[in-house]
């Protein structure tokens, strides 16, 4: 293939993806770029807890189904995102304070969402931004056991999707990265619950220098590694090249997902962090990636 994903997979990588949802898929110029240059989509918001189970036991799959159906009809892989996260979490979940209720709520949420898309997802980011065991309802009520509760429920619901833990600020071999490596070591000591580790990589200009060290540290877990939400505020071509080469050089780094296509629709829009400008024209950074591949 000639687009970004086509050139990337010719180097043995699985995909270069982007986030999307109906709001961005309905923009024709945006959808056309995804068709030509990306091999995978992540639901930007539609598969999160607030979108799928706004009140207990009442599930809404309108947005997530639309994304999954678009991906299936257009031959794109899908990363599920995300089942257990302290953010975009309805208050009915964050106010639960007993272990049994929270355990069954997590199990029901995961089995219903992952079960609905069983067999259709390349991977699922089961936990998001919890690698450092932050103070969340999940950790505060259940302690570290929520990790195995979540991964066990996901495996039972979908035995083929690769089950990921995902986090931010894993941009160098820093204390948070090392904590993530230790957490995976503890959880997986006797059984491989966690099958992949994602680093979001929401970077700033000049901030890519630690990427290779971060990926190397994460790969020391023995798991596959992916960059899951790449964007670089005020990026130069060199920033993008540095990240791409870091993944290229590590065989366990299987994929990169950009957090959007055009600056027009980025959650960090004002910092122009993506590979297409706000008029859907490829930027210099895009051209430099294509040339280097």
Kindly state the smallest distance separating residue 19's Cβ from ligand XIL, in Å: 6
In the bound state with ligand XIL, the residue whose beta carbon lies nearer, of 200 and 242, is: 200
In whole angstroms, the minimum distance from the beta carbon of 44 to ligand XIL comes to: 5
Instruction: Decide if residue 200 touches ligand XIL (CB under 6 A).
Output: yes
| 128 in contact with ligand XIL (CB under 6 A) | yes
Nearer to ligand XIL, 41 or 241 (CB): 41
Among 44, 130, 239, 263, which residue sits at the site for ligand XIL (rule: CB under 6 A)?
A: 44
CA triplet 45, 51, 56: central angle to 5 degrees? 150
Tell me: does residue 5 bind ligand XIL (CB under 6 A).
no
Helix (H) or strand (E) holding 8: helix 4-9
Site for ligand XIL in 249-278 (CB under 6 A): 267
Q: Is 75:113 a contact under the CB 8 Å cutoff?
A: no
52 versus 128: smaller Cβ distance to ligand XIL: 128
- Catalytic, 144? Answer no
Size of the site for ligand XIL (CB under 6 A): 6
Going by DSSP bridges, is the β-strand pair 224-233/253-258 parallel, antiparallel, or unpaired?
parallel
> What is the distance between the alpha carbons of residues 227 and 230, in angstroms, rounded to a whole number?
6
CB atoms within 10 A of CB 72: 12
Whole-angstrom distance, CA of residue 95 vs CA of residue 60? 21
CB of 68 to ligand XIL, least distance (A): 17
Question: CB neighbours of 229 closer than 8 A, spacing ≥ 6?
Answer: 19, 42, 168, 198, 200, 201, 202, 257, 258, 259
Active site (catalytic) residues = 229
Give me the residues that bind ligand XIL (CB under 6 A), please.
44-45, 128, 200, 229, 267
């Amino acid at each position: 293939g000639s687009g970004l994903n086509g050139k990337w997979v010719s180097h043995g990588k699985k995909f270069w993806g982007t986030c999307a949802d109906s709001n961005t898929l309905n923009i024709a110029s945006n959808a056309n770029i995804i068709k030509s240059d990306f091999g995978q989509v992540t639901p930007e918001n539609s598969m999160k807890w607030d979108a799928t189970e706004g009140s207990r036991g009442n599930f809404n799959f309108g947005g997530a189904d639309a994304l999954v159906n678009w991906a299936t009809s257009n031959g794109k892989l899908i990363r599920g995102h995300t089942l257990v996260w302290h953010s975009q979490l309805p208050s009915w979940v964050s106010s639960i304070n007993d272990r049994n209720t929270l355990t069954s709520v997590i199990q029901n949420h995961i089995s219903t969402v992952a079960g609905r898309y069983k067999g259709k997802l390349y991977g699922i980011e089961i936990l998001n931004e919890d690698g450092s065991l932050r103070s969340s309802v999940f950790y505060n009520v259940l302690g570290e056991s929520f990790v195995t509760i979540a991964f066990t429920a996901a495996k039972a619901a979908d035995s083929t999707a690769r089950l990921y833990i995902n986090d931010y600020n894993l941009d160098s071999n820093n204390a948070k990265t090392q904590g993530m490596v230790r957490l995976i070591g503890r959880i997986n000591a006797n059984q491989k619950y966690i099958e992949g580790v994602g680093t979001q990589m929401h970077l700033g200009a000049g901030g890519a220098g630690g990427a290779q060290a971060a990926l190397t540290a994460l790969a020391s877990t023995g798991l596959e590694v992916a960059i899951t939400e790449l964007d670089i505020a005020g990026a130069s071509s060199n920033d993008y090249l540095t990240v791409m080469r870091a993944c290229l050089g590590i065989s366990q780094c299987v994929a990169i997902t950009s957090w959007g296509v055009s600056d027009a629709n980025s959650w960090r829009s004002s910092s122009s962090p993506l590979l297409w400008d706000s008029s859907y024209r490829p930027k210099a950074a895009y051209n430099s990636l294509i040339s280097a591949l």
